[in-house]
Amino acid sequence: MSNDDKNNNAGREDPPTPTGMRKGLTSYGDKGFSLFLRKAFIKGAGYTDAALDRPVIAIADTGSDYNPCHGNAPQLVEAVKRGVMLAGGLPMAFPTISVHESFAAPTSMFLRNLMSIDTEEMIRAQPMDAIVLIGGCDKTVPAQLMGAASANIPTIQLITGSMLTGSHRGERVGACTDCRRYWGKFRAGEIDADEVADVNNQLVASVGTCSVMGTASTMACIAEALGMTMPGGASPPAVTADRIRIAEQTGAQAVQMARDKLTIDKILTPAAFENAMRVLLAIGGSTNGIVHLTAIAGRVGLEIDLPALDRMGRETPVLLDLKPSGQHYMEDFHHAGGMATLLRELKPLLRLEAMTVTGRTLGEEIDRAGPGFTQHVVRSIADPIYPQGGIAVLQGNLAPGGAIIKQSAASAELMEHEGRAVVFENAQDLAERIDSDALDVTAQDILVLKNIGPKGAPGMPEAGYIPIPMKLARAGVKDIVRISDGRMSGTAYGTIVLHVTPESAIGGPLAHVRNGDRIRLSVKNREIALLVSADELAQRARDNPVIEPTADRGYRKLFLQTVTQADQGVDFDFMRAAVMVGKVPGAAADRAKD
Ligand code: FES
């Protein structure tokens, strides 16, 4: 800068960063005109200048007739708006993509990244000082946090909340662990078509997310552990007054975050991710939680260290007694005090200095929640429902990039097991042969399903919960070792190895497993081994080279060209942070981000 420039700038202050309606003006080449035009249009909806001068709090509304897990979105939007108005802000709701598990083909995971792009770009495009993200069903919360992490404005997550449980012939039931259990009974001939139709009316007793510790509940708990929700925001069921009150508080807090410029990068620190990993293990959370947490971390330049997660698991018992690892449902967790009860118990293992959306640290919020009370849903560390973390990370020649197993939902007698591979080449092959009486299979075999990974299906569907072959189910077999490069619903259970990386569709060793090969699973040694020599595997790869799937156009083409493997969160490679700054947990990452 020349002396003249310095003299000319003397006494001048940088122009204030635009806020509210002045943010992100449309490019007409004349900023004054851009604001004039914007205000003219919004006034067409009846707004006054007094309203338009307030901080703008956007609300990402994911209500959709296709998404009953978000069926309370209209009430939540109304309550958030009330909170925003009470705190002096201007609420502006807008729609984004909404994804429901049972209404998305080929699988909701195929659309998670699209929803994250939608969320990020609408945050960037529209004027807002803070945003409330309303999410709940499995992929929605991760998609929203991924997008918001990339956009980096003050952000607060509002969970839609869990559904209520139903009752079937005197038994309490809820989606979706009981959906699978009753379907399994029907397949095994234990109940008839009339009964399976009856229970179909009871499994989902209200709007809201699945009532067990599936992926939605897992991500709700993770969002609170990350510091991204109001304290107590994870557990209130969708149709309760508590849920509506949390929504109102969320709106009010968003205004405060806008005033304090409490951007999401101040919350999504390595300490926050470490807390989320700890909570994932302690709640017996869905294996999908790892993939989503990895994707969210990748947006802020952090890698989840899977071996370290496994080490954390050895000192983090499962404390939460919820299905499928335990007995209870989300509404019971809420009645037991919700996340405050769990976090109080986990306190010695947590990074208490992590910042939250309230502007206070996680440790301060735990203290503010007060003392606990007698309850039977969150166990003490001295009396866990499972002695280690719910998820174990496996290594071996079958999964050079790692694989995982939800050990808390597996059968103890199968966790050290060697058996003969019974191979299915893809989901279609599985559907055609799994119930055939001619299938050569015993309860001691290991079912292997290929081509359901990120590129294989595509979208890494929750098809890793391979059904028990009909002839074994009828004989009373309840579990069998299963291996795939896919995912499974957090509501599922069994001795099931998932996320085998690299996947078979890109030529991972899984692609070259054949019927009759021997496979060894040792959860104790964290091993998944294909007992075939490296030379033989190399020969098989030369004899049958894998041709990666492609598409001619559109989103599927983008997906197949850019999707990463499970160990990178199945995010698109171009959506991750340009520079990775470290691993979580890890001292290097902490220095870089804390
Ligand atoms: Fe939406 Fe289970 S289907 S949470």
Using a 6 Å cutoff on CB, does residue 217 contact ligand 1? no
The percentage of residues in the chain with a pLDDT greater than 90, rounded to a whole number, is 92
Atom of ligand 1 nearest to the CA of 67: 1
Residues 6+ apart with CB under 8 A from 338: 232, 234, 235, 236
Using a 6 Å cutoff on CB, does residue 212 contact ligand 1? no
Is the bond preceding residue 210 a cis peptide, omega within 30 degrees?
no
Atom of ligand 1 nearest to the CA of 491: 2
Give 497's strand partners: 405, 483
Using a 6 Å cutoff on CB, does residue 408 contact ligand 1? no
Phi, psi of 219, deg, nearest 5: -70, -30
**Contact predicate 391/523, CB 8 Å:** no
What is the per-residue pLDDT for 5?
46
Q: Rounded distance, CA 67 to CA 541, Å?
A: 43
Atom of ligand 1 nearest to the CA of 138: 4
Using a 6 Å cutoff on CB, does residue 462 contact ligand 1? no
Using a 6 Å cutoff on CB, does residue 210 contact ligand 1? yes
What is the per-residue pLDDT for 490?
80
Q: What is the dihedral of CA 341, 356, 71, 331, to 10 degrees?
A: 0
Pocket test for ligand 1, best of 69, 112, 165 (most atoms within 8 A of CB): 69
Give 519's strand partners: 419, 530
How many other β-carbons are positioned within 10 Å of the β-carbon of residue 437? 8
Determine the distance separating the centroid of ligand 1 and the alpha carbon of 520, expressed in angstroms: 33
What is the per-residue pLDDT for 4?
45
Is the bond preceding residue 154 a cis peptide, omega within 30 degrees?
no
Using a 6 Å cutoff on CB, does residue 566 contact ligand 1? no
**Contact predicate 434/425, CB 8 Å:** no
Is the bond preceding residue 106 a cis peptide, omega within 30 degrees?
yes
Q: Rounded distance, CA 441 to CA 494, Å?
A: 17
What is the per-residue pLDDT for 588?
44
Cα Rg of the chain, angstroms: 25
Residues 6+ apart with CB under 8 A from 588: 581, 582
Determine the distance separating the centroid of ligand 1 and the alpha carbon of 559, expressed in angstroms: 23
Secondary structure (DSSP) of 272-335 = HHHHHHHHHHHTT--THHHHHHHHHHHHTTEEE-HHHHHHHHHT--B-B-BTTTSSB-HHHHHH
Encoding tokens for residue 442? 């015993």
Using a 6 Å cutoff on CB, does residue 530 contact ligand 1? no
Closest protein CA for atom 2 of ligand 1: 210
Q: What is the dihedral of CA 304, 308, 311, 313, to 10 degrees?
A: -10
Pocket test for ligand 1, best of 100, 109, 207 (most atoms within 8 A of CB): 100
**Contact predicate 145/159, CB 8 Å:** no
Determine the distance separating the centroid of ligand 1 and the alpha carbon of 101, expressed in angstroms: 6
Tell me the whole-structure pTM to 2 decimals. 0.95
Is the bond preceding residue 458 a cis peptide, omega within 30 degrees?
yes
Beta-sheet pairing, 496-498 with 481-484: parallel
Q: Rounded distance, CA 227 to CA 515, Å?
A: 47
Using a 6 Å cutoff on CB, does residue 120 contact ligand 1? no
Q: Rounded distance, CA 390 to CA 387, Å?
A: 9
Q: Rounded distance, CA 79 to CA 96, Å?
A: 19
Q: Which residues of the chain are under the pLDDT cut of 50?
A: 1-8, 10, 588-594
Place of tokens 């030379």: 535
Closest protein CA for atom 1 of ligand 1: 137
Using a 6 Å cutoff on CB, does residue 208 contact ligand 1? no
Which amino acid does the sequence have at 496? I
